[in-house]
Amino acid sequence: MSRLPRPRGKQVLAVPGQVGFEVIRIRGSHHFLRHPDGRATVVPVHAGEQIGPGLLNKILADCEMTREEFAALLK
């Protein structure tokens, strides 16, 4: 298992958008994303803060993405 970088919220937000997720609403700093097939997740976008590894794994599980797919799209 490769080690993932610690991306910021805006960087994480861009990756699901590349595979069909759309922001359906924003409440405060939390962006709610949904895919047309029903998958959904929430990405917090706090200025200057990185997404922790546990939360990043949860987002990837919600999006049904592997760590390798995420890393390839992050670049």
The pLDDT of 7-35, averaged and rounded, is: 95
Residue extents of the structural domains in the chain: 9-74
Contacts of 46 (CB under 8 A, 6+ apart): 9, 29
Provide the strand spans (E) within 14-75: 22-27, 30-34, 40-44
Range 24-37 average pLDDT: 97
pLDDT at 4: 77
What digits encode the pLDDT tens for the residues 40-63? 999 999 998 999 999 999 999 999
Write down the CATH superfamily of domain 9-74.
Hypothetical protein. (3.30.920.30)
pLDDT tens track for 1-18: 567 788 999 999 999 999
Q: What is the pLDDT of residue 11?
A: 93
Measured CA to CA, the distance from residue 18 to residue 53 in angstroms comes to: 21
pLDDT of residue 35 exceeding 80:
yes
